[in-house]
C-alpha cells in the first residue's frame, strides 16, 4: 500500500470526537505510483470491454429482472439511476408511497457499475415490498474522494425531488421510510452519505444505513488486514483459497481513492471512525467471514453497540470487547472461528455473538451479522457464477436470501414500525 502514515499497531479505534492527531495519506515512491497507475488504468480498460458488450446485448435483448426505469437527472446526466418496483405494485393504477432502499454498488471506488446489482435489487424489491433505487457515482482515480460522495448526495436529493417516484417521504402525518444500503466500497459510502450536512438535516434523511462487507477503515494497511481473517482450506474453492480475493487489488483501490495529505481518520473517508451520533439512528453491519474487510466491520459494530449501551445507561461492565486487530489472541485478532460451519445455507451459529447480535433502544438500533464461510461478494449473482461448484453456489444463494429476509424484517418491524 502506498500510504505510509497509518494507524500504528495497538492504537485504539478513535471516534471523530476523540482522535488526537491526524493520520495523513502520503505519496508513495515514484516507481510504486507508476505501478499503481498502470495496474488501475489497465484494469479499467480491460473491464470496459465486457461492460460494453453486455450493455449492447441487454439493449437489444433486455434480461428478465432488470429495472423498471432507468433515469438520469440534470445534476448528474452521465450517472443514471436504476429503479425497481415490487412485482405486485401497479405503477399505472396507484401512486401509494413505498418504503425505499437506495443501494450503492461496490468496486473499490474504481470499478463496477450499478447494473452489477440488478439481480440483487430485483429480489430485494420483490421479496421485501420496497422501492429500490440503485444510485451511481464517478470512479477513481480520475476523481478521488470526495467526488463519489457528492455524486451520491446530488442523486439522493434529485430522487427525493422527483414527484413521479412514490418514495415514502416525510409528511405532516408520517416520517419518511428511506434506508441506504451499500456493498464493499458502497458500504463505506452508505455510512458516509448520511453524515453529510445536507442529508442529515433533511426531513427525508435515511432512517437506516446498511453496510454489506464494507471497506470501512482506510487508515489500516491492506497487508495488515490480511492477518485478521481465518483461512479454511478444507472448504471447496474459492472459499477454501489461502489467498484473499482482495489482496492484490486493495492497495491499488486505496491509492486511487484517497487524496494525498488527507486525514485517514476522517469519518467521511473511513466510517470506522464514526460515532453513533454521526450515523442514522439504525445501523446494520453485515460482513463475510472469509473476507479481509470483516474485522473492521466487527470493530465498528462492537464500538457502536457499546455507545448504544451507554445511551441506554446500561452498566459498562456489560460492554462488548472491541476486538484489537493487532492482538496475538485468535478470538480477538480474527473474526469468526477456525472451524467451518457444518450447516450449509444457515446464518445462525447457536447464539454465538461472534456471528450476530442486536442492541435496540427507543428510537434506534445497532446490528451485527457475520455470514459464516462466506467470501467477499458472495451475494452478487455475477460473482456467484465463478464461486466453484454447485454446492458453494447454493450455499451462497441461501445465505443471501436469509440475510436479506433478516434485514427486511428489521426494516419493516424495527426501523419503519
Q: What is the pLDDT of residues 268-303, one digit of tens each?
A: 999 999 999 999 999 999 999 999 999 999 999 999
Of the pLDDT bands very low, low, confident and very high (cuts 50, 70, 90), residue 4 is very low
CATH architecture under which domain 30-415 falls? 3-Layer(aba) Sandwich (3.40)
User: CA distances (Å), 30 to each of 27, 33, 36, 37, 178, in order?
Assistant: 8, 5, 10, 10, 45
pLDDT at 107 over 70: yes
Of the pLDDT bands very low, low, confident and very high (cuts 50, 70, 90), residue 14 is very low
Query: Residue 20: its pLDDT value, please?
Result: 53
Handedness of CA 396, 254, 273, 195 (dihedral sign): negative
Q: What's the rounded mean pLDDT across residues 210-216?
A: 98
Of the pLDDT bands very low, low, confident and very high (cuts 50, 70, 90), residue 93 is confident
Single pTM value for the model: 0.93
CB 357 within 8 A of CB 366: no
Of the pLDDT bands very low, low, confident and very high (cuts 50, 70, 90), residue 11 is very low
pLDDT digits (tens, 9 = 90+) for 170-179: 987 789 999 9
Q: What is the mean pLDDT of the chain?
A: 91
Query: Residue 8: its pLDDT value, please?
Result: 36
Where along the chain do its domains lie?
30-415
Neighbours of 360 (CB within 10 A): 14
Q: What's the rounded mean pLDDT across residues 107-125?
A: 96
Query: Residue 191: its pLDDT value, please?
Result: 98
pLDDT digits (tens, 9 = 90+) for 25-53: 899 999 999 999 999 999 999 999 999 99
Amino acid at each position: 500500500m502506498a500510504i505510509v502514515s497509518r494507524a500504528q499497531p495497538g492504537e485504539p479505534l478513535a471516534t471523530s470526537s476523540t482522535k488526537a492527531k491526524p493520520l495523513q495519506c502520503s505519496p508513495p515512491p515514484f516507481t510504486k505510483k507508476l505501478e499503481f497507475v498502470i495496474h488501475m488504468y489497465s484494469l479499467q480498460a480491460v473491464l470496459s470491454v465486457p461492460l460494453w458488450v453486455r450493455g449492447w446485448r441487454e439493449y437489444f435483448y433486455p434480461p428478465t429482472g432488470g429495472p423498471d426505469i432507468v433515469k438520469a437527472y440534470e445534476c448528474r446526466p452521465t450517472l443514471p439511476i436504476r429503479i425497481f418496483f415490487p412485482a405486485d405494485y401497479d405503477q399505472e393504477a396507484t401512486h401509494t408511497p413505498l418504503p425505499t432502499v437506495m443501494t450503492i454498488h461496490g468496486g473499490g471506488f474504481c470499478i463496477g457499475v450499478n447494473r452489477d446489482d440488478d439481480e440483487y435489487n430485483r429480489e430485494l424489491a420483490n421479496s421485501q415490498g420496497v422501492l429500490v433505487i440503485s444510485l451511481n457515482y464517478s470512479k477513481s482515480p480520475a476523481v478521488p474522494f470526495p467526488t463519489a460522495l457528492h455524486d451520491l448526495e446530488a442523486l439522493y436529493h434529485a430522487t427525493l425531488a422527483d414527484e413521479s417516484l412514490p418514495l415514502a417521504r416525510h409528511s405532516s402525518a408520517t416520517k419518511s421510510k428511506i434506508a441506504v444500503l451499500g456493498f464493499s466500497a458502497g458500504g463505506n459510502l452508505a455510512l458516509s452519505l448520511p453524515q453529510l450536512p445536507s442529508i442529515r438535516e433533511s426531513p427525508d434523511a435515511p432512517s437506516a444505513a446498511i453496510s454489506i462487507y464494507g471497506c470501512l477503515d482506510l487508515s489500516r494497511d491492506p497487508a495488515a488486514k490480511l492477518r485478521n481473517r481465518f483461512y479454511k482450506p478444507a472448504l471447496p474453492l474459492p472459499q477454501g483459497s489461502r489467498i484473499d480475493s482482495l489482496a492484490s487489488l486493495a492497495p491499488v483501490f486505496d491509492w486511487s481513492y484517497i487524496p494525498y495529505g488527507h486525514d485517514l481518520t476522517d469519518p467521511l473517508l473511513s466510517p470506522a471512525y464514526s460515532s453513533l451520533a454521526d450515523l442514522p439512528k439504525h445501523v446494520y453491519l453485515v460482513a463475510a467471514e472469509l473476507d479481509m474487510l470483516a474485522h473492521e466491520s466487527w470493530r465498528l459494530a462492537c464500538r457502536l453497540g457499546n455507545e448504544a449501551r451507554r445511551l441506554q445507561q446500561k452498566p459498562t461492565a456489560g460492554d462488548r470487547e472491541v476486538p484489537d486487530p493487532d492482538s496475538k489472541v485468535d478470538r480477538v485478532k480474527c473474526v469468526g472461528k477456525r472451524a467451518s460451519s457444518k450447516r450449509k445455507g444457515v446464518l445462525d451459529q447457536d447464539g454465538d455473538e461472534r456471528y450476530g447480535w442486536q442492541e435496540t433502544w427507543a428510537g434506534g438500533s445497532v446490528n451485527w451479522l457475520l455470514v459464516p464461510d462466506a467470501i467477499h461478494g458472495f451475494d452478487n449473482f455475477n460473482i456467484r457464477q465463478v464461486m466453484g461448484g454447485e454446492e458453494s453456489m447454493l450455499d451462497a444463494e441461501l445465505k443471501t436470501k436469509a440475510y436479506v429476509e433478516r434485514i427486511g424484517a428489521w426494516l419493516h418491524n424495527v426501523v419503519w414500525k
